[in-house]
Amino acid sequence: MCGIVGSVWTTADSAISPLTLQRMMSRLTHRGPDDSGTFHSEESRDPSGTSASFPKAALGHRRLSIIDVEGGRQPISNETGDIHVVLNGEIYNFVELRDELSGKGHRFATQTDTEVIVHAYEEWGNDCVTRLRGMFAFAIWDERQRVLFLARDRLGQKPLVFREEVGRILFASELKALLAVEGMPGALNLGAVDLFLTYQYVPDTTCILEGFRKLPPGHYAIFKRGQLDVQSYWTPPFNTPAERSPGEWQSLLRERLTEAVQLRMRSDVPLGAFLSGGIDSTIIVGLMRSLSPKPIETFSIGFSVAAFDETAYAREAAEKFGTRHREHIVDPSAIEVLPQIIWHFDEPFADSSAIPTFWLSRWTRQHVTVALTGDGGDELFAGYDRYRAVRLASQFDRIPLLRHFAALRLWQSLPFSVKPKSRLRRLRRFAAELSETPVRRYLNWISYFNAVQRSELYTDTMQAALAEQNADDYITWAYEQCKHRDFVTRTTAADVHSYLPCDILRKVDIASMAHGLECRSPFLDHPVAELAAEMPIEMKLNRKGGKRALIETFSDLLPASIQRRRKMGFGVPLDSWFRDELKPLLESTLLGSTCLDRGYFRENVLRRMLNEHATRQADHSSRLWALLILELWCQMYVDSPTPPQSCPTSFADMITMR
C-alpha cells in the first residue's frame, strides 16, 4: 500500500526534473511513510548503454511496507532493467502467480508482490491485469517500446488521477501530488460542483479541477507516441445471470469468501479488522478467526447519540469470536479534524461517515498496519434499506390506480418528522417520489440536492454556467451498465458502478491512507463480486430484508441479534451538532463574505435553510454539510495563492495557510 507519481514526456521542454518528482512524492508521504524510491530517465541508461531517447519517463514511489519489508523497495525492474513498475495496492495471488511465472523461466529478485506485475507484463502484455487478484493502481514504463501502461483494479479500491498535456502525461495516487508540478492550473470545474451537490461526491467521470481526469475502475491506459488510449478490461457480470440452486449459491459463496479472507490475511506486519457489529464485518471477523490460530485484533467506533451507536453489537460479535477488541467514542470535538480530512480528500467529499472512518483509521493504526473490512457487502448483496424501497415501489408501479393516487401527492398530508432515521420520515420520503419514473425516483432518494433544490439554490450566474450540464446523466449512465435484469438488481449494479467506487471506497482509501493504514476488503475480491453479480435478486432480498444470501450462508457466524437488526449505517449526528456545538461554524462559514462573494448560491436560500434547520422545521443537515465542505475546500484549494503543501492540523492552521 503506497503512493505513486510519475510522468512521461515526448519533448525536452515538457520534462519534469528530479526535484519536481521529489516534490510530487512529498505530497504522498502519508500514504507511504516507510520508504521511497525513484526512476528517472535523465539519471539512467538504456540497456544499450546510451542515454534514453524520447519519450522519457519518471516514476516515484512512497512505500508502506507490508510484504517483503526488507526487499520490496520500488520502483522494481525486470532482469534486463528495461521495464519498471510502481504499485499502490496489493496483489493477493502473488504467490501463485510467482510460481507460474517462475515455471515459465522468469527470475525473481525479491519476495514482494510488486515484482509479479513486471513479469506478468513481460509474459502477457496488457492482459496481465486480468491475471491479477487484488486492489491496485500501478504504472509500468516499458523502456524498450517507449510505452507507459497504467491500470486500476476492477472495483476501484485504489485511485489514479492523471493530466494529459501536449507532449506529456502526469499521474499520481492523489490530485495534490499533481498540483505540486510547476504551472499546474487550478480552475474550478463548476460542472463537478453541480455533480458533487447532487451525489455528495465528485464522480470518477470528472474532476473538481478543469483538465484533470481519473482512470475508471476496471480500466487500463496506454500512453504511446504522445497519444493516450483508455480501455476497459473488466465489468461486473450483472448482465449475465446464472442459474443455480440455493444450496449451490451458498456453497460457492462460502468457498469464495473464505478464500478471499485467507488471501487477505497474508501479511508481514500486524493485522486486524474493523468490527461494526453489522452483518458484513461480523462475517469477515468470523472467517478470520476460523483461519487464524491466534485471536484477531478488532476495532470499532461509537457515538454518544444512541441512534448512531453500534458498539453494543460490535462487543457481542467480539465476545463470540474471542477477539482482542478496542473501541473509541467520537463526540462533536472530533470535527476538529475536518481541515485534515478536506486536505486529504483533494476534492469536496460530503459523506459525513468520513469523520468516524478517519478516527477509526487513526485509532486502528496505533495497533496494526493492516485491517480487513466489510466494504462492498451492501452493494453486492442488497443490504441498504433503499433497495427494499425500490422493490416496494416496483410493486406500486404495476398497479395503475396506486400510481394515480401517488400523482395526487397525498403524501403531503403525512405528519412531518425531523427525527433521524424515523419510520415516519422514511415513509414520507418514499411516498413523495412514487409518481416519478423508477430511475428519477431513485435519483431523488439518493440526492443531497435534487434538481428543484439546486435550481432554487443557484444564482442566475451559476445556472447560466451549468446550462449544458445535466447531473441526471451520471445515474442514467450507471443504470445503462445493466439493462436486462429486474430493477432492484439494476439499482444495485448502478451503485456498484457509481456509489461504491466514488464514495465508499474513496472514503476508506483516503481516510486509512492518511494514517498509513492498509484496508483490505474480501467482499471486493472479484470472484466474490462476480458471483454476487450473477446471483438472482431473490437470493439477496425478500420480505425479511436484504443480505439474505449472507445471513443464510453464514448463520453459524452471526449472533441472532445481528441477523435481525436493521442496518444503522456509519454516519454522524450532524442534525443535532448543527443545532448546537457546530452552529457557529456553520453560520460563519456559509454566510460569510468569502462564501457569498463567490456568486454561486443565493443568500436568502442559505439563510432559510439555516433557519429551518435550527428551528426544527426541516432537517437540512446533509445539505448544509455538503455546502460547508465545499466552502472549506474552496478556501483551502482555490483561495490559497499556492496549492496547500502540507496538511493543516486545525482550523487556525487552515486560516494561516491562506
CB neighbour class for 602 (10 Å; exposed up to 12, middle 13-18, buried from 19) = middle
Q: What are the CA-CA distances from residue 282 to residues 249, 311, 383, 507 (Å)?
A: 20, 12, 14, 21
Backbone dihedral region for residue 334 (phi beyond 0: left; psi -120 to 50: alpha; all else: beta): alpha
Q: Where are the beta strands (DSSP E) in 10-131?
A: 35-40, 56-63, 76-77, 83-91
Most distant CA pair in the chain, distance: 81
Q: How far apart are CA 172 and CA 6, in angstroms?
A: 6
Q: What are the CA-CA distances from residue 220 to residues 138, 176, 394 (Å)?
A: 10, 22, 37
Backbone dihedral region for residue 35 (phi beyond 0: left; psi -120 to 50: alpha; all else: beta): beta
Q: Name 231's bridge partners.
A: 220
To the nearest 10°, the Cα dihedral for 396, 402, 407, 411?
A: -80
Q: How far apart are CA 494 and CA 35, in angstroms?
A: 39
CB 124 within 8 A of CB 131: yes
CB neighbour class for 463 (10 Å; exposed up to 12, middle 13-18, buried from 19) = middle
Q: How far apart are CA 106 and CA 395, in angstroms?
A: 58
Q: Which of 2, 128, 502, 519 is catalytic?
A: 2
User: Among 479, 421, 425, 475, which residue's Cα sits nearest to residue 450?
Assistant: 475
CB neighbour class for 656 (10 Å; exposed up to 12, middle 13-18, buried from 19) = exposed
Element (H, E) at 151: strand 147-152
CB neighbour class for 483 (10 Å; exposed up to 12, middle 13-18, buried from 19) = exposed
* Residue 647 is among the residues annotated as catalytic for this protein: no
To the nearest 10°, the Cα dihedral for 563, 569, 574, 577?
A: 40
**Is there a cis peptide before residue 400, judged by omega within 30 degrees of 0?**
no
Q: How far apart are CA 8 and CA 59, in angstroms?
A: 9
Residue by residue, what is the 3-state secondary structure of 326-389?
Answer: EEEEECHHHHHHHHHHHHHHCCCCCCCCHHHHHHHHHHHHCCCCEEECCCCHHHHCCCCHHHHH
CA 82, 87, 90 angle in degrees (round to 5)? Answer: 130
Task: Write the DSSP symbol of residue 45.
Answer: B
Residues annotated as part of the active site: 2
